[in-house]
Every structure is written in structure tokens, then in C-alpha cells.
Amino acid sequence: MYVIWHNPRCRKSREALAILKEAKVDFEIREYLKNPPSREELAHVCSLLHKKPIEITRTKQAEFRELGLTKTDSDEKILNALVSTPQLIERALVLKDDEAAALGRPPENIRHLFS
């Protein structure tokens, strides 16, 4: 089962959703702004992606600056910011069976999860 962390207002997220539909795979939509992930979920996704929390953070968002964050902040500080301000989470994120993940930037990146 696939799960897409989706923001319907985001074009890239909608494109990733279209790829899932085109692939005819079973998936669930998690609107992460309405149902934010926990710190543990975010840490797990980072481990699946082999990325540091800053690498799944939208650093150009105004909220990033408003929170006083920098790209050199600790993983802990970034994870806490992502929990409290989920709009900073890069999108779209797609998880496969909670064992693999892909960041849909660009959306085509998720295709490798289908093989």
C-alpha cells in the first residue's frame, strides 16, 4: 500500500497524485496539513529517504525565516519545526508499505517505488 502526504493546493503534489493514479496502485491520501505527522514519523521518513530533516524542509518558505531557522540547525530543531509547522515539509512524499519512500521533487521521482 502506498501513502501520499498530499497538499491539494500544491501543483507538484497533484502531479505526484496523478502518477499514483496512472500506475493503478492502491494508495491512501494523507493531507498532512490536516493530519500532521509526528516527530517519530518524520524521523522514520528521513531514514527511509536517507536524508537529513533539513533536506525535506521547504527552506524558502516565510515560516522558515519567521521561526528563526537556519540550514545549519540541528536535526532535532528542524524535526520539531516540521512537527509544529507542517507546511515546511517538502512535498509530495510517497511511502510504500512503510518500508520505502520517495520525495516527489520532481514528481517523477516516485516512479522508482513501483518496481
From the candidates 10, 25, 29, 83, give the one annotated as an active-site residue: 10
Query: What are the helix and strand counts (H, E) for the chain?
Result: 4, 4
C-alpha cell at 98: 512503510
46 carries an active-site annotation: no
- Centroid of chain to Cα 93: 4
Q: Cβ atoms within 10 A of the Cβ of 94, count?
A: 27
Q: Using an 8 Å Cβ cutoff, are 87 and 61 in contact?
A: yes
Active site residues: 10
